[in-house]
Structure 1
Amino acid sequence: MQTKPVLGAAEAHRILEAARTEAERNGWAVAIAVVDDGGHPLAFARLDGAAPISAYIAQEKARTAALGRRETKAYEEMINGGRTAFLSAPLCATLEGGVPVVVDAVVVGAVGVSGVKSDQDAQVASAGAKSVAA
């Protein structure tokens, strides 16, 4: 039998708070979603001023990063590189801003952020992911 690390409530909230701190430090109104390795929600926050649609997009970015075991930026680059058939893939968020949370070389979940430029979303998500992975 194999064993693996699993995100608990304490880790999910640590990720959320680290991401929130990064967003607030930069004055960015974003939505932040934390999911487990199956893409199921663990923690969520929509900061003041974040557009309602960002809540949905953040959750989908997190789910896509968790299930795909990679940053959502990889999918965006694939499509921009000409692999447009990937637009029909069942994953909904092929935009940068979803980052997997990796512990002991295992993807244990992901963080999705939406609300600002895609590289800024990724910066906030990475800050959250690094808070547990470090």
Structure 2
Amino acid sequence: MTTPATAVTPLTTGDAEFLIDRARSAAEAAGVAVAVSVLDAGGHLLAFRRDDRAVLIAGETSTRKAYTALQLDAPTAGLVDAVQPGALFHTLPTALDRPLLFIAGGVPVHRDGRLVGALGVGGGAPEQDHSFADAAVRAIEG
């Protein structure tokens, strides 16, 4: 007899706004203007915010970083080496017609051990974007 799967509460728009606020607070404390995107488990945009001073491309990169973290269920910071020439996923960025971006700043969001969405931050140096995203996700995952 199999045990039925326990339902996991999906990310809400309230959760998405919380994540954005946490990531932006971390970025503001560092003096960095960013864009932040939050996707649900299906890859749909739940919330987005771009600071007035953030470079325009930050909006696109934040969404692509979130999408990549969601699809691979891994922080993009840990995937950068995997797409270098000769590495395991070298052809992945061009093999799919999807907006994957292997630059630090995307982090998956889990609830009760299950993937429920992802957060992406763009606008700072990759290591900064990762730290802002990671701080926000740690705050919501507890």
- 8 Å contact kept, 2:93–2:101: no
Quick check: 1:66 aligned with 2:70? yes
List runs of 5+ in structure 1 lacking aligned partners.
none
* Counterparts of 2:128 and 2:37, CA distance in 1: 15
- 8 Å contact kept, 2:16–2:47: yes
* Counterparts of 2:134 and 2:41, CA distance in 1: 16
Quick check: 1:87 aligned with 2:88? no
TM-score, scaled relative to structure 1 = 0.92
What are the superposed Cα offsets for residues 5-47 of structure 1, whole Å, 9 maximum, x if unpaired? 2001111111110011001011001111111112111111111
Displacement of 1:81 after TM fit?
Answer: 6.7
Residue 110 (structure 1) aligns with: 118
- 8 Å contact kept, 1:32–1:112: yes
* Counterparts of 1:89 and 1:13, CA distance in 2: 33
- 8 Å contact kept, 1:35–1:42: yes
Paired-residue identity, %: 34
The correspondence for 2:25, drawn from 14, 21, 27, is 21
Quick check: 1:31 aligned with 2:39? no
Higher alpha-carbon Rg: 2
Displacement of 1:75 after TM fit?
Answer: 2.6
Paired letter, 1:74? G
What are the superposed Cα offsets for residues 69-127 of structure 1, whole Å, 9 maximum, x if unpaired? 11112331202373222332324211111001111111111110111111100011111
Paired letter, 1:89? A
Residue 12 (structure 2) aligns with: 8
Residue 108 (structure 2) aligns with: 100
User: Greater shift after overlay, 75-84 or 2-11?
Assistant: 75-84
Q: CA RMSD in A?
A: 1.5
Aligned length, in residue pairs? 134
The correspondence for 1:130, drawn from 126, 129, 138, is 138
Structure number with higher helix proportion: 1
